[in-house]
Each structure stands twice: as C-alpha cells, then as structure tokens.
Copies of this chain bind each other. A is one copy, B any other.
Amino acid sequence: LDSIHFSTGIFGLYISLAVTGKSVVIFWVHQSNADQVDTFIQLTEDELTKYSELPREKTALPSYPEDSVGTIMTREFLAIPEQYRIADTIHFLRNHEIGLQSKYYLYVVDSEQRLRGIVPIRKLLWASKEQKVVEVMSTDLVFVGIDQDRDVVTKLIEQHSYLSLPVVDTRGVLVGIVTADDVMDVMEAEATEDFYKMASIGSFKTSLKDATIPMLFRKRIGWLLFLVFMNIFSGAAIAYYEDTIAAVVALVFFLPLLVDSGGNAGSQAATLMVRALATGDVQLRDWTRFLGKEVAVAGLMGLAMGAAVATIGFFRAGPEVALVVALTMIMVVLVGSVIGMSLPFALSRMRLDPAIASAPLITSIGDIFGVLIYFSVATWYLGAIGLL
C-alpha cells in the first residue's frame, strides 16, 4: 500500500491519498480542527476517469483469495471523518462532484479509518448545517469483510435491496465498496462458469469471441479424454455379457435407450442440485430430505418410462424381453437419479465443486450402471425361464 500524506499545514488537516494498485481511495484520516476546513486536495476529472476506466481485473489486488469480496470491490468511495459537521460535508461533496462510482452514500470513519456510520446523501438536504455528521449518520451498518466469499455480497444486496455495501478489513478499516452492478458482472461470470462445468468445459474468463482455437482445445479436451476412459468400463461390461447378447440379439436394440435414460434422469437431478447449491437454495444438510423426494420422483418416472419401453419391447421382441426392459428401466432411472442428485452433495462435502457432477460425467456413470443392470436382469430372468 503506497500511501502519500499531504499536510495542508495551517489548517491542521491531514489528507491521506492512498494510491493502491491503480485505483484511488480518498481518506480524510485526521483533522484537528474541522471547523476551519476550506481547502481540499482534489483529483482532476482526467485522473479519475483514467482510474475508473481500468479493467476490474487490474484494479483488484492479487493478494485476496480467489472469489473473495476483495477481488470485486472498488476502491473509489467517499469517506469523511466523524468530526465533520454537515457544512463541512456539503463542502467536501461539492469539491468531489466527480466520476466516482458511488454517489449515494458517504462513509464516516474514525481516526483509525474504521467504519463508524453511513450517511445517505439525501439526508444532508434536511439536516442543519451546524449538526455533526455523527448525529445524522446511520450506525445500523451492513458491511462485508474483504476476505469473505463474494457470494455473501450477492445475497446481502438481494435481501436488503442495497445498491452498494462497504467493505472492511479484519480491523474494521473501510477499504472499499461493492456496488450492485459489480455484483451483476460477477453473477453472470459465475453462472457462465457453472454452465461450462456442467458441460465438462474448463472455465475461461474471456469472451467466447476472443477465445482462440488452442485455448478452446485445452479447455475441452481434458474431460473428453477422461470420459473416453470412463466409457471403457461400459464397453467392458457389454463385452462381458457377449454370450447373453449372442443368445438374444434383440436385446441390443434396447441398449442405447435404457442406458441413456439413467444418464438423462441423473443429469436432470444433478443439474437441479448443482444450481440449488450454487444459489444457496439448498444446503449440504438437506441431502437426506432430497434423497427421499428424488426416490419418489425417480420411481414415478421409472414406472412411466418402463411402461413406454415395455410396449415397444412387447411388439418388437415379445413379453419376456418386454418384462426385462421394463424392470431394467425402473432400476436404471432410480439408480441414475440417486447418483445424479447425491454426487453434487458428496463433492460439496469433500470441499470440491458440486458442478464437477456434469451432464457428460453422469451420463457415463449412468451408462456403466445401465449396462450392468440391463444384462444382469436379462441373464437372470431369461436364464430362469430357459431362454438362455
């Protein structure tokens, strides 16, 4: 933190102009005689425009944890010392009618730069000029810590309809603000990242228009290769049941439809959970509750899909195969759904990202279970009735 101190001497006013990274904090850190204030160090509009046009990535300090409030906050805000009177405050504001992001609130700080209160600028309209700012400020503060997860900001802004929130460090020192439009950018970026993960794509922050061919290749190939190896298990399972297939070739017709159904139902369940965990709609402790619900929903879906596939099976391959495919469908949908809904919770529990439970991953897992269930049921039942 490069901090430059100017002293205006005769007024006993110390101004700390902390230029951090490339953004600007204006702090009146100490002031021995607030009544005599009549001069301020003022940044030119050019300087401020230059600062505020820097991309967010560059103004963020690299030392904050990833996805923390520190990475999205702006350091452009107006802070005044608690000794100020309303007259000083209005004077201060007139001299800072400039391109700052937050023009709606003034933050009141003590001599240690700790946040003491907030003054909505409109309140200055009906305060008396001789009143002290501490008399009109609101001390019912809602603020966030610089190291907190930035999701916290989203939730607070949505809950309280605030348009900006002050950010403090561990000592309570005001270090920045987060505005609703910063949060919107973050929400959009995070949703995009989750979309990518749900399709087994590595995250990247640039626009898709600017993504180069080598970059897209790198972000997509990893999971695709992993899934190729996952699918070897399905292939091996099919190969293992070669004899069953050879005896009742009609079974192969139903293979894609049965194994995909488990993956599809599982992808639905996984997506519902990943999204609900991301938005905070569902917490880790809700797992058992949703398990019961999922079993009920999947059971109903399995019955409906089993009935559909039994009809096809009956006309194509007779009642025996119809029974096998119907039973398989119910089990495959149940197993796929339970895996799909549980995996995001399990990943979250292991402090991994729930969105790793992507649709392609669930599909591949569903395929393996699907093949095993299908041919086990077929071998057992068709063997029992003497068809194998």
Contacts and interface: CB of A to CB of B under 8 A. Distances in A.
Interface of A: 90, 93-94, 97, 101, 103-104, 120-122, 124-126, 154, 157-158, 161-163, 179-181, 183-185, 187-188, 191-192, 194-196, 198-201, 207-209, 213, 216-217, 220-221, 223-225, 227-228, 231-232, 234-236, 238-239, 242, 245-246, 249-250, 252-257, 259-261, 263-265, 267-268, 270-272, 274-276, 279, 281-282, 286, 290, 293, 296-297, 300-301, 304-305, 308-309, 312, 333, 359-360, 363-364, 367, 371
A126 B242 CA distance: 87
B194 A279 contact: no
Contact of A196 (B271, B286, B359, B363): B271
Contacts of A199: 198, 267-268, 270-272, 359
A305 B232 CA distance: 13
A293 to B, nearest CB: 6
Contacts of A124: 125
Given A198-B195, A200-B264, A236 B221 contact: no
A263 B367 CA distance: 13
Contacts of A220: 265, 268, 297, 301
Which secondary structure dominates chain A's binding surface? Answer: helix
Given A199-B267, A213-B296, A235 B261 contact: no
B281 A207 contact: yes
A232 B275 contact: no
A364 B180 CA distance: 41
B256 A234 contact: yes
Given A163-B180, A268-B199, A297-B216, A305 B260 contact: no
Contact of A184 (B93, B184, B224): B184
A245 B264 CA distance: 26
Contacts of A333: 224
B256 A252 contact: no
Contacts of A312: 232
Contacts of A296: 213
Given A121-B121, A232-B312, A301 B224 contact: yes
A348 to B, nearest CB: 15
A272 B196 contact: yes
A38 to B, nearest CB: 15
Contact of A208 (B201, B213, B223, B282): B282
Contacts of A179: 161, 163
Contacts of A293: 213, 216
Given A191-B195, A200-B268, A225-B304, 7 more contacts: A124-B125, A163-B180, A195-B274, A196-B275, A208-B272, A228-B261, A231-B261
